[in-house]
Amino acid sequence: MGQKHFGTDGIRGLVGKNQITPEFCLRLSWAIGKVFTQEGRRPHILIGKDTRISGYMLESVLQSGFVSAGADVSLLGPIPTPAIAYLTRALNADAGVVISASHNPYYDNGIKLFDGKGNKLGDELEQKIEAMIGQPMVCEDSASLGRASRINDAPGRYVEFCKNSVPRDFSLRGIKIVLDCAHGATYQTGPRVFAELGAEVVTMSVEPDGFNINERCGSTHPEQLQQRVIEEAADLGIAFDGDGDRLVMVDEKGELLDGDHLLYVITRSRQARQTLQGGVVGTVMSNLGLERALQELSVPFVRAKVGDRHIMEALHQRQWTLGGEPSGHILTLDLCSTGDAIIAGLQVLVAMQDAGLQLSEVASGLTKAPQLLINVDVDSPAAVCEHTDLVTAIAAHEESLGDRGRILVRPSGTEPLLRIMVEGEDETEVTRVAEDLAAQAQAITLS
């Protein structure tokens, strides 16, 4: 139990292996409960989840661990990750726990944590929990055990929160939207928010069965959404990921818009409304086209490491409020404490309404540079990333590209993959370099 358990975004892995087991999650929740109990009062902890079959198992053991440590628990059921962050703050709870593996397949799962302000846990709290996991697990006596209850109106509270994030005169009457909810955590709340704001909503992937979350649907597989938008003659489409903290959109022509496009649209709208606070934070994966488009708007732009935690840190350091990454995590810290796909989608719709334009038109100011991302399935991605052969190959291609492009090779923080990104002015050259580096990575044999 001496190892470090928290990764860049909580704890995640294959169900039944390593940390995603009943035994470990029982110990983890007991440790969290004990850390928060040390504050001198009985802590109140919320538990929410997405729609994976393993959520039932993990929810019950987490509940038992918290109660055994003397913490009270409120169960929220299937609900988006940002809803748990919001409700933790709104209900004055001490912590919020999310059972989800985001965009991963059903056989993965994970645990994310929010503090009482709806922010992801800081390093200091994580370190205290890590230390407590290694201590002998001792159950409180009967008089000191916590209690568990269920908050049945949690989805409704979150729907109202989302609706209140837009101006009072905002209406979606006359707008037709196709929503792909990835058979995930937004399957109830997503359609309600947009319908109650007046939109005609066509739903996709809103029948979770525990196994179909993210399966050929949602933000990582938007092809069917693109086709459906054309078939329905809809104004746009929105695809969420499994836990509802990221999105991609499809314009009226069926063209896909990723997080860079959406960040540009929101930035431009806020600049026009004079509500843009400072500049914008992207990541090392953000397209060069976004950087250039923001320069044309005279909007400061900085890059952070991949992951919303790093974007958040950069925003707090500069006292800015807007950031995001190409995968569709969009942070609007003036509206919510974490990435929220529904609220980000609404912000894009606000921009469209203000400008009186269709989605393709409000996004037209961004021309993306050719960029190719290849995910390579290798053993020990971190070790392969640092291998001399790959490092040498990267250096040679970087010298060849010069100032005409960028190369970024990194191990995924959420999946056992090596991510190879190449960006440049010439699409043929970009493809050639990316494919060569992918072949080099696959050829590496670790001793």
pLDDT at 274 over 60: yes
Q: What is the predicted pLDDT for the residue at 307?
A: 86
DSSP summary character for residue 263: H
Supply the residues annotated as catalytic.
Answer: 102
| Residue 1 confidence class, pLDDT cut points 50, 70, 90 | very low
Q: What is the predicted pLDDT for the residue at 416?
A: 81
Rounded to the nearest 5 percent, the helix, strand and coil shares of the chain are 40, 20, 40
Which residues span the domain enclosing 86? 11-152
- pLDDT tens for 174-222 read 999 999 999 999 999 999 999 999 999 999 999 999 999 999 999 999 9
- pLDDT tens for 101-111 read 999 999 999 99
Based on the fold, state whether residues 275 and 348 are members of the same structural domain: yes
Going through 81-129 in order, the beta strands assigned E by DSSP cover: 95-99, 108-115
The Cα 447–Cα 445 span in angstroms is 6
Position 391 in a domain: yes
Position 359 in a domain: yes
Based on the fold, state whether residues 143 and 178 are members of the same structural domain: no
- Measured CA to CA in angstroms, residue 369 lies from 199, 293, 324, 405, 435 at distances of 34, 11, 18, 9, 18
The Cα 96–Cα 206 span in angstroms is 25
Phi, psi of 323 (to 5 degrees): -160, 170
Q: Which residue has the higher pLDDT, 200 or 447?
A: 200
Based on the fold, state whether residues 394 and 364 are members of the same structural domain: no
DSSP summary character for residue 256: E
Q: Cβ distance 330 to 339 under 8 Å?
A: yes
pLDDT at 39 over 90: no
Global model pTM greater than 0.85: yes
- CATH number for the domain spanning 201: value is 3.40.120.10
Based on the fold, state whether residues 327 and 305 are members of the same structural domain: yes
Least confident range of 73-77, 279-283, 354-358, 371-375: 371-375
Based on the fold, state whether residues 311 and 351 are members of the same structural domain: yes
Q: Which of 222, 255, 288 is the last residue of a domain?
A: 255
Mean predicted confidence (pLDDT) in 377-391: 91
Q: How many domains does the chain have?
A: 4
Based on the fold, state whether residues 231 and 278 are members of the same structural domain: no
Q: What is the predicted pLDDT for the residue at 2?
A: 45
- pLDDT tens for 112-142 read 999 999 998 888 898 999 999 989 999 999 9
Q: Which residue has the higher pLDDT, 10 or 326?
A: 326
Based on the fold, state whether residues 215 and 147 are members of the same structural domain: no
Q: What is the predicted pLDDT for the residue at 303?
A: 96
DSSP summary character for residue 214: T
The Cα 184–Cα 206 span in angstroms is 7
List the beta bridge partners of residue 176: 200
Q: Cβ distance 61 to 26 under 8 Å?
A: yes
Structure tokens at 311: 């974007």
| Residue 407 confidence class, pLDDT cut points 50, 70, 90 | very high
Q: What is the predicted pLDDT for the residue at 93?
A: 97
Based on the fold, state whether residues 20 and 148 are members of the same structural domain: yes
Q: What is the predicted pLDDT for the residue at 257?
A: 98
Based on the fold, state whether residues 363 and 411 are members of the same structural domain: no
Based on the fold, state whether residues 428 and 330 are members of the same structural domain: no
Based on the fold, state whether residues 426 and 391 are members of the same structural domain: yes
Q: Cβ distance 354 to 312 under 8 Å?
A: no
Q: Which of 255, 277, 301 is the last residue of a domain?
A: 255
